Amino acid sequence: MVTQQSKKGSIGQHYQDIWHGKLDLVTTLYAPDCIYHDSNSPFELPTGREGIKQLVNILRTAFPDMVLSIESVILEEEIVVVRWKLAGTNTGPLLAAGPTGRAVNITGISQLRFANGQVVEEWTNWDALGMLEQLGLVEVTFR
């Protein structure tokens, strides 16, 4: 019998493994026609599993030493919320900017909606401004 705790752990581990480059798990966790929402994302991604794979590849190219750690997982019926932390050094290209050589530590939260055991929709919010500031691409001042 699968418990809520083991289900949360399994989903969290799969999510983390995908972001560590195990892209074969995308077909396990995500539905073929999944939809990814990220209001901070500057990337034009296709829908479905290929979009998820492209996003992971873009960020792993920009931050080859990237480590995503799961802070918490909340499971409520068909919704799973994953709070995560990402750390890495920008030694590859990112958008129009070349590598900065700077380290980033950002936090984010992803809400995954499941149907038939796979993610059919994901909403992600993360500290995009904090990342740009840590990379030295923007300067944030307070009055």
pTM of the model: 0.89
In the predicted model, what is the mean pLDDT of residues 66-91? 96
Q: Which residue type does 120 have?
A: V
User: What are the tokens at 121?
Assistant: 């929709």
What spatial distance separates the first Cα and last Cα of the chain, rounded to whole Å?
56
CA atoms within 13 Å, Cβ hemisphere of 70:
20
Query: What is the model's pLDDT at position 60?
Result: 97
CB 18 within 8 A of CB 24: no
Write down the residue that tokens 């919010």 correspond to. Answer: 125
Q: Does the pLDDT of residue 6 top 80, yes or no?
A: no
Query: What is the model's pLDDT at position 3?
Result: 65
Query: What is the model's pLDDT at position 2?
Result: 52
The Cα 5–Cα 41 span in angstroms is 31
Alpha carbon of 64 to those of 43, 94, 101, 108, 133: distances in Å? Answer: 18, 12, 11, 19, 19
Query: What is the model's pLDDT at position 10?
Result: 86
For residue 8, what are the domain limits? 4-134
Q: Report yes or no on 129 lying in a domain.
A: yes
Q: Which residue type does 43 have?
A: F
Query: What is the model's pLDDT at position 50?
Result: 97
CATH of the domain at 118: 3.10.450.50
User: What are the tokens at 116?
Assistant: 């038939």
In the predicted model, what is the mean pLDDT of residues 110-125? 96
Q: Does the pLDDT of residue 131 top 90, yes or no?
A: yes
Q: Angle at Cα 77 formed by Cα 6 and Cα 117, nearest 5°? A: 65
Q: Report yes or no on 143 lying in a domain.
A: no
Q: Report yes or no on 15 lying in a domain.
A: yes
Q: Report yes or no on 124 lying in a domain.
A: yes
pLDDT above 90 covers a percentage of the chain that reads: 78
Tell me: the pLDDT tens digits for 26-43? Answer: 999 999 999 999 988 888
In the predicted model, what is the mean pLDDT of residues 88-114? 95
Domains in the chain, number: 1
